[in-house]
């Protein structure tokens, strides 16, 4: 990168806030989706909004692309750096700025971890609802960019339902405040668009979040089923009965086995398990819990475990939340998808996935937010076997097309990023995408803010990226990727 | 705005021939908005016709305003000239009710009450209860992000919308979101258009997540000895993790309504506990059910929603609600204004009715705005007579985000032909 430009960056964030060393920059080559890699031109670690503003202004003036990154746990290559650009690493902006329990709000910098928000207020009986599985290692800035969900969004919604206000640096370097501490600030709901815009419209420097009062009662049930069909039908029946649990999660045999091997949650040996959690007042939870037990037994559920205490509840959730990481126990590599389907089509789509599993010869594990219809099929493959990575990617794409066939979505919470940008035309028409581009153009006419993400471009989609090959430094054991 | 050489007949004929059927007519007095008579009223039956009319209007340099049930035509800033008033009322179906998925897609011109009557066949509803649901349409409710007391539990339209089909001013029809409840693919244009007062595009249909209709309901009517008991009582409810679907205050009546909806045993036990907490806080409480309950809610809404009076939407920090109410009581007294206010206690969202000398109303609204720094509250005029509208800005300060809002409007509607000066901040 241009030396003068680098010196100016050092003026803004200090010498220790600029990472120029090529070996050090390897750290930032990818986010959680390691099959996409690109080393940034330079990385900066600002500590204040003014420093972010300074960096963005400089990029704007110099026509240099920039990408904001938090903890890098995203799964869509949304924080993939631009090789000729600046990576703005937000991890040093990790202060909790204000806790206002009287109004059930907390204001944080984007580098604060999701789980830390809850930790800061749980002693007073409050919590922050969105709970992505990575909540102990992912930061609020990334949650904001991706509109993260989690197991409990069935009842409580996503990040967008809990963000009240934000301070953001626009791509021209201006700082704006959208939303606010009070609800319904007059004006267009740009906050509603900014959340989930995958860092393509602005760099967020401060976020005010709403907190919820911890429920009086929480009850968690785990039930086993002899087929994913029966488990899927139980999910439909729960929803049809007019019950909105806090969470309904499903795991199949493959993912149960992986979770057992990794964290021993004590799941039964079954084709599928459902985890259903109810929360609310004592009387409400008690009344609805009975109905859920009935629905499960009507659908031939067995081995019902009801968490006796917080410890057992924690173990059940640990089994579920560890499922992704646990897959390493049973497969060298896996490709995860994030498609969404209407809940009622669950049995149909699961059947198609099983057929695909047989046809392709690749094991496909399924762990998903069943209540929302958000699937996380895990396509297992072995890097060492020639062609299997490519096959896995094709199989994963095929699953996405099943989701779209039944009116679903490419992504429920991981985002489009660089990974699925080329799939966007399967879900949206040219006119739909052009209309979204109007928003992009209003915010970022120069297209410098996280370019080549979310929207398909010829540069991005004209060529199909090959599978990941280890860097020689990595192969020699001199550096690690994660 | 329209070319002066255009005659009324020409406009009507042009629209009809464009669409291929009789959809346009000359505007009459009943169509007036803010005393502005629309030149032509068009009521197409198909989404594609809306696109055609908008595309044509863009080419012609003709301004278009949108109307559903007409219940909110007077909201927003004063209208500019209206060449074409586009009515959505002929597009009024519940397109699909996916009851197994708890979602529905509804055309913009369907009224909320009709929509909910259809959804009730499967014991579901679109959980919004804004004023005037008999006449208010889905398009208008979404365009203004309007909601009612049960926002406390279910949220506002922006929290329930999962997809939208819209027509752009150049006639292009586009969609955003989809039919699934969880979806982060692409920009959320549905949320952008929600609350945009129709200034970015014409909402053709919207898809929502729904809620089951609760089996039972109870409302606790709380009579407060003093308004500050409201704060203490609310804190008690929160501390006990009470889960009402609505939590309202009404002044100067000095009453609160706390509603519970669930299965019978639950609502009885929750209402009993909420009533006991009210008594403990020094208030009197009555648990209402059936017709008494409905009547209490009707009375509550009637404190504010009065034809011909000024209505201000007031938002404050929930912790500042009671001090605002106390301040207000004194300020209306010295200005000799008649007033009523109902508010969502847990959210800090209130509706204030004013009647009396216009100059005094203006002075009160300005004083309110002085109390509310940007981001910590707002006082937006919803309904008022034209005289007041001309004396005071409808929206109040918007803050430093306005610049980018203007840029978005510029992209969606470069010539400002759609709902001119009617969008937030006069966009």
Closest residue of chain A to B213, computed from CA coordinates: A242
How many CB atoms within 10 Å of residue A457? 14
Residue B2 lies in a domain: no
Domains of chain A from N-terminus onward: 3-92 (3.30.43.10), 96-213 (3.30.465.10), 217-405 (3.40.462.10)
Same domain, B140 and B43: no
Residue B405 lies in a domain: no
Same domain, B295 and B321: no
Chain A residues lying within 8 Å of B155, measured CB to CB: 157, 161
CA torsion through residues B410, B415, B419, B423, sign: positive
- Closest partner residue to B158 (CB to CB) among A153, A189, A213 is A189
Residue B304 lies in a domain: no
Which string of b and e fits A70-95 if b means at least 16 CB within 10 Å?
bbbbbbbbbbbbbeebbbbbbbbbbe
Residue B354 lies in a domain: yes
Same domain, B98 and B82: no
Residue B180 lies in a domain: yes
Q: What is the CATH number of the domain that holds B248?
A: 3.30.70.3450
State the pLDDT at residue A479.
Answer: 43
Q: What is the CATH number of the domain that holds B328?
A: 3.30.70.260
State the pLDDT at residue A477.
Answer: 46
Same domain, B141 and B205: yes
Q: Give phi and psi for B191, each to the nearest 5.
A: -70, -35
Same domain, B134 and B108: yes
Same domain, B37 and B118: no
Chain B residues lying within 8 Å of A435, measured CB to CB: 166, 168, 172, 174, 176, 189
- Closest partner residue to A340 (CB to CB) among B176, B180, B265 is B180
CA–CA dist A2, A14 (Å, integer)? 17
Same domain, B75 and B104: no
For testing contact with chain A, the best of B172, B216, B404, B419 (most A CBs within 10 A): B404
**Domain interval for residue B83:** 8-88+413-426
Q: What is the CATH number of the domain that holds B154?
A: 3.30.465.10
Can you read off the two tokens belonging to residue B90?
A: 């002929």
CA–CA dist A96, A109 (Å, integer)? 6
Q: Tell me the mean pLDDT per 10 residues along chain A, length 482.
A: 96 98 95 92 98 98 98 95 98 98 97 98 96 92 96 92 98 98 97 98 98 95 94 90 92 93 91 95 91 95 92 92 85 92 91 95 93 93 92 94 97 95 96 98 98 90 53 44 37
Residue B226 lies in a domain: yes
H or E element at residue A56: helix A49-62
Contact criterion met (CB < 8 Å) for B181 and A373: yes
- Closest partner residue to A374 (CB to CB) among B176, B182, B410 is B182
State the pLDDT at residue B7.
Answer: 72
**CB contact at 8 A, B230 and B278:** no
Question: Any CB–CB contact under 8 A between B166 and chain A?
Answer: yes
- Closest partner residue to A428 (CB to CB) among B173, B186, B424 is B186
Residue B105 lies in a domain: yes
Contact criterion met (CB < 8 Å) for B200 and A188: yes
Same domain, B143 and B250: no
Which of B299, B331, B349 represents a domain boundary (last residue)? B299
CA–CA dist A40, A30 (Å, integer)? 10
Question: Any CB–CB contact under 8 A between B225 and chain A?
Answer: no
Same domain, B208 and B98: yes
Torsion region of B399: left, alpha or beta (phi above 0 gives left; psi -120 to 50 gives alpha):
left
Closest CA to A71 of A150, A148, A162: A148
Question: Any CB–CB contact under 8 A between B120 and chain A?
Answer: no
Chain B nearest CA to A151, separation (Å): 12
Q: Tell me the mean pLDDT per 10 residues along chain B, length 427.
A: 61 94 94 90 97 96 95 85 95 97 97 98 97 97 98 98 98 97 97 97 98 96 96 94 96 97 95 97 97 98 96 97 97 98 98 98 98 96 93 95 98 96 91
* B window 14-53, beta carbon within 8 A of A: none
Chain B nearest CA to A36, separation (Å): 19
Structurally, how many domains does chain B consist of?
4
* B window 58-117, beta carbon within 8 A of A: 98-103
Same domain, B21 and B58: yes
Closest CA to A129 of A146, A141, A143, A109: A143
* B window 338-357, beta carbon within 8 A of A: 347-349
State the pLDDT at residue A463.
Answer: 52
Same domain, B125 and B201: yes
- Closest partner residue to B401 (CB to CB) among A182, A187, A427 is A187
Same domain, B237 and B207: no
Contact criterion met (CB < 8 Å) for A177 and B399: yes
- Closest partner residue to B183 (CB to CB) among A165, A242, A340 is A340
Which of B299, B319, B349 represents a domain boundary (last residue)? B299
Can you read off the two tokens belonging to residue A209?
A: 């979040």
Q: What ipTM does the predicted assembly reach? A: 0.96
Which string of b and e fits A334-350 if b means at least 16 CB within 10 Å?
bbbbbbbbbbbbbbbbb
Contact criterion met (CB < 8 Å) for A176 and B400: yes
To which residue do tokens 């099959």 refer?
A35
Closest residue of chain A to B123, computed from CA coordinates: A242
What DSSP character marks residue A87? E
Contact criterion met (CB < 8 Å) for A186 and B395: yes
State the pLDDT at residue A468.
Answer: 45
Contact criterion met (CB < 8 Å) for A372 and B182: yes
Contact criterion met (CB < 8 Å) for B182 and A433: no
Which of B212, B237, B252 represents a domain boundary (last residue)? B212
State the pLDDT at residue A1.
Answer: 86
- B205 Cβ partners below 8 Å, 6+ apart? B47, B91, B95, B105, B106, B107, B108, B164, B165
Q: What is the CATH number of the domain that holds B16?
A: 3.30.43.10
Residue B399 lies in a domain: no
Chain A nearest CA to B209, separation (Å): 11
State the pLDDT at residue A482.
Answer: 38
């Amino acid at each position: 990168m241009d030396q003068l430009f680098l010196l100016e960056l050092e003026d803004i964030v200090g010498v220790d806030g600029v990472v120029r060393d090529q070996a050090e920059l390897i750290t930032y080559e990818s986010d959680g989706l390691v099959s996409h890699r690109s080393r940034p031109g330079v990385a900066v670690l600002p500590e204040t909004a003014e420093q972010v503003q300074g960096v963005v202004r400089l990029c704007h003036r110099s026509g240099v692309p920039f990408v904001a990154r938090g903890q890098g746990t995203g799964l869509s290559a949304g924080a993939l750096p631009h090789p000729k650009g600046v990576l703005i690493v937000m991890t040093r902006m990790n202060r909790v700025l204000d806790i206002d329990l009287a109004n059930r709000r907390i204001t944080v910098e984007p580098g604060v971890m999701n789980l830390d928000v809850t930790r800061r207020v749980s002693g007073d009986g409050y919590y922050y609802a969105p709970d992505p599985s990575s909540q102990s290692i992912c930061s609020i800035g990334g949650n904001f960019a991706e509109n993260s969900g989690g197991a409990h969004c069935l009842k409580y919604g996503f990040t967008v339902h809990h963000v009240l206000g934000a301070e953001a640096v626009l791509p021209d370097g201006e700082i704006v405040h959208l939303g606010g501490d009070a609800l319904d600030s007059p004006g267009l709901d740009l906050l509603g668009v900014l959340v989930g815009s995958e860092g393509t419209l602005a760099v967020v420097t401060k976020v005010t979040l709403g907190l919820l009062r911890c429920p009086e009662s929480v009850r968690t049930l785990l039930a086993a089923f002899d087929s994913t069909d029966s488990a899927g039908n139980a999910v439909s029946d729960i929803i049809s009965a007019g019950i909105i649990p806090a969470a309904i999660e499903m795991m199949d045999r493959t993912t149960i086995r992986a979770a057992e091997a990794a964290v021993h949650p004590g799941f039964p040996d079954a084709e599928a398990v459902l985890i259903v959690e109810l929360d609310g007042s004592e009387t409400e939870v008690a009344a609805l819990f009975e109905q859920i037990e009935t629905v499960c037994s009507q659908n031939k559920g067995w081995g019902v475990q009801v968490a006796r205490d917080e410890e057992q509840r924690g173990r059940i959730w640990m089994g579920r939340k560890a499922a992704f990481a646990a897959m390493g126990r049973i497969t060298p590599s896996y490709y995860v998808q994030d498609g969404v389907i209407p809940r009622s089509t669950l049995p149909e789509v699961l059947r198609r996935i099983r057929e695909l599993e047989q046809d392709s010869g690749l094991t496909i594990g399924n762990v998903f937010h069943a209540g929302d219809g958000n699937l996380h099929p895990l396509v297992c493959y072995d890097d060492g076997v020639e062609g299997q990575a490519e096959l896995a990617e094709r199989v994963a794409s095929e699953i996405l097309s099943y989701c779209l066939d039944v009116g679903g979505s490419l992504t429920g919470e991981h985002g489009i990023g660089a990974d699925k940008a080329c799939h966007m035309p399967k879900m949206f028409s040219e006119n739909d995408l052009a209309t979204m581009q109007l928003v992009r153009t209003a915010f970022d006419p120069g297209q410098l803010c996280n370019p080549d993400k979310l929207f398909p471009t010829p540069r991005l989609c004209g060529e199909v990226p090959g599978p990941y090959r280890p860097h020689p430094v990595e192969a020699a054991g001199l550096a690690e990727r994660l | 705005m329209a070319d002066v050489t255009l005659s009324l007949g020409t406009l009507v004929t042009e629209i009809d021939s464009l669409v291929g059927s009789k959809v346009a007519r000359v505007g009459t007095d009943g169509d007036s908005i803010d005393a502005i008579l629309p030149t032509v009223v068009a009521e197409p039956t198909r989404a594609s016709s809306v696109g055609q009319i908008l595309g044509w209007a863009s080419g012609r340099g003709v301004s278009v305003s949108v109307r559903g049930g007409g219940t909110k035509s007077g909201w927003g800033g004063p209208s500019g000239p209206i060449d074409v008033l586009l009515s959505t009322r002929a597009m009024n179906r519940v397109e699909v009710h996916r009851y197994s998925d708890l979602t529905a897609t509804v055309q913009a011109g369907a009224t909320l009450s009709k929509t909910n009557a259809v959804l009730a066949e499967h014991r579901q509803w679109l959980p919004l209860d804004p004023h005037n649901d008999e006449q208010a349409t889905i398009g208008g409710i979404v365009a203004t992000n309007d909601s009612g007391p049960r926002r406390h539990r279910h949220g506002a339209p922006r929290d329930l919308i999962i997809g939208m089909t819209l027509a752009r001013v150049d006639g292009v029809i586009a969609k955003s979101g989809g039919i699934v409840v969880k979806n982060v693919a692409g920009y959320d244009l549905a949320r952008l258009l929600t609350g945009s007062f129709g200034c970015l595009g014409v909402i053709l249909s919207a898809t929502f997540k729904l809620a089951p209709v609760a089996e039972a309901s109870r409302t606790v009517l709380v009579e407060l000895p003093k308004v500050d008991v409201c704060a203490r009582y609310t804190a008690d409810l929160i501390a006990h993790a009470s889960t009402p679907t609505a939590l309202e205050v009404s002044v100067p009546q000095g009453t609160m309504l706390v509603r519970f909806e669930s299965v019978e045993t639950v609502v009885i036990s929750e209402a009993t506990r909420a009533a006991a907490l009210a008594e403990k806080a020094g208030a009197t409480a009555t648990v209402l059910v059936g017709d008494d309950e409905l009547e209490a809610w009707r009375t509550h809404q009637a404190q504010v929603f009065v034809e011909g009076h000024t209505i201000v939407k007031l938002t404050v920090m929930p912790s500042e609600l009671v001090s605002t109410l106390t301040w207000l009581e004194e300020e209306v007294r010295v200005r000799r204004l008649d007033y009523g206010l109902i508010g969502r206690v847990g959210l800090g969202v209130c509706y204030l009715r004013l009647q009396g000398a216009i100059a005094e109303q203006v002075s009160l609204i300005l004083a309110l705005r002085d109390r509310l720094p940007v981001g910590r509250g707002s006082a937006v005029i919803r309904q008022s007579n034209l005289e007041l509208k001309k004396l005071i800005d409808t929206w109040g300060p918007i803050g430093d985000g306005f610049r980018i809002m203007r840029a978005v409007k510029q992209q969606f509607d470069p010539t400002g032909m759609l709902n001119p000066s009617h969008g937030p901040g006069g966009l």
